[in-house]
Amino acid sequence: MAATTYPRLTRQPRQSFFLLGVRGVGKSTWARAQFPDALCIDLLDEARYQDYLADPSLFAADLQTAPPGGWVMVDEIQRLPNLLNEVHRHIEDRHLNFALLGSSARKLKAAGVNLLAGRALHKTMHPLTPGELGDDFDLEAALDTGTIPLVWVAGERRQALESYVRLYLREEVRAEGLVRNLPGFARFLPIAALHHGQVVNISGIARDCGVARTTVQGYLDILEDTLLSIRLPAFQPRLRVRERRHPKLYWVDPGLVRAVKKLHGPIAPEERGALLEGWILHLLRAHGGEGGLYDELHYWAPHPANRTEVDFLLRRGGELAAIEVKSQPRYHTGMLQGLRVIGELPGMARRVLVYGGRRSFQTGDGIDVWSTDRLQQALTENALWP
């Protein structure tokens, strides 16, 4: 099935917006379908990019061809963030609406997104979810090669993934001048993939990479700014600064994790847990971005000396929902340890264990045990909260 036929969770805004997402996630395809009459400006067009780079007034001249109140789609806006000055002016003077698409937030954050504060929404497009894929969804394929549309629809997904990683290093990192030491960053990537789903240990990563701690911090920022990863903060209210827990590192797509580590073949039991955990986080973020699923998302670890953790803690208003992920197909009560402890938090509305089995039921102490299919159904129906 072609990527263009998959319905996306992303909703069409009624005002100007930024839409960010990794390369190949389907931003341009979606925007062209939503705004068929928009003036389209693609900054990957090298000739146009060079023209605007030499003379930004040419961008303003092109905008004059759009009717007042019309839509303009600018693809890869992060390549020339100084154009946001003209975007701002045309929103104010001609009431144009802009769909500003980008695969990196790094230059935008440094060069003027604040110019559009209050004038442009900020949205993120995620890799495909089971609800978007429908009957085409297969969990094993999703955990193996991921669901970035560019890869999902490829005839040879693994080759497409390998090309994707090379393209990222060549186009996103080197061409944009994000790092001075490209070989060092290339060494960093597989080590960062090994830390998928783990608490960030900058000293350990620096030692494994053979670079300075400050360099690793910069590399992690680049991964996050180019939308390939997120750092999930710990839920730790009213703790002293010295007790604060480090965030966990997650890549946005399990296929990227395996490709960067150069893993092939069936998924090994020792890697399945982190891949499934990251996949569930992807679902929560994808549905949370459009459906108001939560106000805040954390992981829960009450104290460094306590090994009890819960993978995800969602807050919506004064209510909390906890989700623990286990990849094993056979349920046992030991899986509930963290969820039983976290039940003491004020405002706990639901506790869910998502595991690798097919049965879904509720335990005697009110913990929901769900298959991955049952979780997806709850997210699709906006029924996670009781």
Q: Are residues 192 and 229 in the same domain?
A: yes
- Reply yes or no on whether the pLDDT at 229 is more than 90: yes
Length of the chain: 386
Report the pLDDT value the prediction gives residue 114, as an integer from 0 to 100. Answer: 57
Q: Are residues 221 and 331 in the same domain?
A: no
Give the pLDDT confidence of 112-133 residue by residue, as tens digits: 555 576 678 889 999 999 999 9
Phi, psi at 339, each rounded to 5°: -65, -30
Report the pLDDT value the prediction gives residue 116, as an integer from 0 to 100. Answer: 72
| DSSP assignment string, 60-126 | HHHHTTSPTT-EEEEETGGG-GGGHHHHHHHHHHH--EEEEEES-SHHHHHHTGGGGTTTSEEEE--
CA-CA distance, 385 to 293, in Å (whole number)? 8
Residue numbers of the domain that contains 99? 3-124
Q: Are residues 216 and 173 in the same domain?
A: yes
- In the chain, the number of structural domains is 3
233: number of CA atoms within 13 Å, CB side?
Answer: 8
Please say whether the dihedral angle defined by the alpha carbons of residues 131, 132, 137 and 141, taken in this order, is positive or negative.
negative
Rg (CA), the chain: 22
- Tokens 């090669």 locate to 145
Q: Are residues 31 and 136 in the same domain?
A: no
279 assigned to some structural domain: no
Give the pLDDT confidence of 24-56 residue by residue, as tens digits: 999 999 999 999 999 999 999 999 999 999 999
Report the pLDDT value the prediction gives residue 30, as an integer from 0 to 100. Answer: 96
Q: Are residues 18 and 62 in the same domain?
A: yes
Q: Are residues 146 and 113 in the same domain?
A: no
154 assigned to some structural domain: yes
Which band of pLDDT confidence, cut at 50, 70 and 90, is reported for residue 176?
low
Sheet with strand 121-124: strands edge to edge: 39-42, 71-75, 97-102, 17-20, 121-124
